[in-house]
Structure 1
Amino acid sequence: MILISNQMRWVGHLARMQDDGLSKQLFYGELQRGKLPTHKPKKRFRDVDKSNLKALIVEVEDREQMTQD
């Protein structure tokens, strides 16, 4: 639970950041890829964040609104 709490705090920090911040651009941006690997791709931080929100029953939009308060 501590790990999820720290991850949620970091995502809240990103949500409050200016849009031109490098960390925010990397988090919300998409990578361009060449060939896709045949094995299961590794989870990105954003994927882990989504699964944490799902486990806590929080919508992404609600999380961003909560961090603005």
Structure 2
Amino acid sequence: MTVLHDPDGTDFSLVCDGCGTTIDRLGANLHNWELAWSLVRRHGWIGERSRQGPHGCPKCTTRSAYAVDG
């Protein structure tokens, strides 16, 4: 799973399945997954639109494991 939720469920982070790069506190700042995903995609993240992933950061976009972009 590439979206990690805080124990209280009010925040979440996005983790790259390739290198482990993490963007913390997305939920606290953007409040929902759809908004967070649309923003990080503009900054080079790729992968499945779902929270389960896989997701890849801009450093890992050349890896074939992330060929699906949703």
Q: Which protein has the bigger helix share?
A: 1
Task: Give TM-score scaled by structure 2 length.
Answer: 0.24
Task: Give TM-score scaled by structure 1 length.
Answer: 0.24
**Larger radius of gyration between Structure 1 and Structure 2:** 1
Q: Which protein has the bigger strand share?
A: 2
